[in-house]
Structure 1
């Protein structure tokens, strides 16, 4: 039988869940205000940009911690807005890639400062530099444990070069 959680360990888990929900709610509100799309859709655009412009739908669903059907719906909405397109994977007629369009890249550039402001206000301003670095390291360790890799945190100027499809 596993050891009983210490009070602080249980409290940590509850805070992580609470903060995650609060951040997601704030991000969704800000994203809708500045783009007209949901944060979950904005996150698809970010992941596509970070992947160099395109990625297999199955891999994208995994990175977003989403079900394939939920991702298909979000990508369909982004296709209607001409921000994403789906294409057949080269050499694999059954594989499907999601690809960000020039309009999707433009949307990311246009809302970059508004998103930066929201992130600073919600997650950076209340902390000092040491706390930011400690939180980044601790959450990275949790990602590695739960996902097997660290994801996210790629700055726009560190993203892979644009694909010219």
Structure 2
């Protein structure tokens, strides 16, 4: 049985939860304002783009920390908007791939500066460069522990500035 957490450990946990919710709320507001879609849908497009354009639905749900039914709903909304599509995986009739469309890629290009500005304002500007790098390492260690891999910030070479 684990020892009881002390007050600073409890505060770290509570702050991580709080900051995560605040960032997600801000990201959703900015994304809706600039794209008309929810941040959860925008994140689907980002994950697909960063994976080279397509992923199996099961893998995408895992990366998004989403339920299969939740992802199916988000993808259906993206399909209606012409931003993504579902296709049968080659050689596997039961496997389904989620794929970003050219219209989805165009949307990401169009809003990239607005998203960049929101990210800087919400999470980078209040910190020093050293704090940003420390946060990157600390959050990566938590991801590795909880998810089994570090994710985030993986911009495909052809999209890097």
Q: Same fold (TM over 0.5)?
A: yes
Match of residue 136 from structure 2:
136
- 1:144–1:150 contact (8 Å) kept in structure 2: yes
Q: Matches of residues 61-80 of structure 1 in structure 2 within 5 Å?
A: 61-80=61-80
Q: How many residues align?
A: 160
Select between 151-160 and 128-137 the one with higher mean Cα deviation: 151-160
Match of residue 163 from structure 1:
none
RMSD over aligned CA atoms reads 1.2
Q: Distance in 1 between matches of 2:157 and 2:25?
A: 26
TM-score, length of structure 1 as denominator length: 0.94
- 1:61–1:67 contact (8 Å) kept in structure 2: yes
Q: Distance in 2 between matches of 1:128 and 1:155?
A: 22
Q: Structure 1 residues 118 and 29 mapped into 2: Cα distance closer, same or farther (>3 Å)?
A: same
TM-score, length of structure 2 as denominator length: 0.97
Gaps of 5+ in 2: none
Gaps of 5+ in 1: 161-165
Higher relative contact order (Cα pairs below 8 Å, separated by 6+ residues): 1
Match of residue 37 from structure 1:
37
Q: Structure 1 residues 151 and 144 mapped into 2: Cα distance closer, same or farther (>3 Å)?
A: same
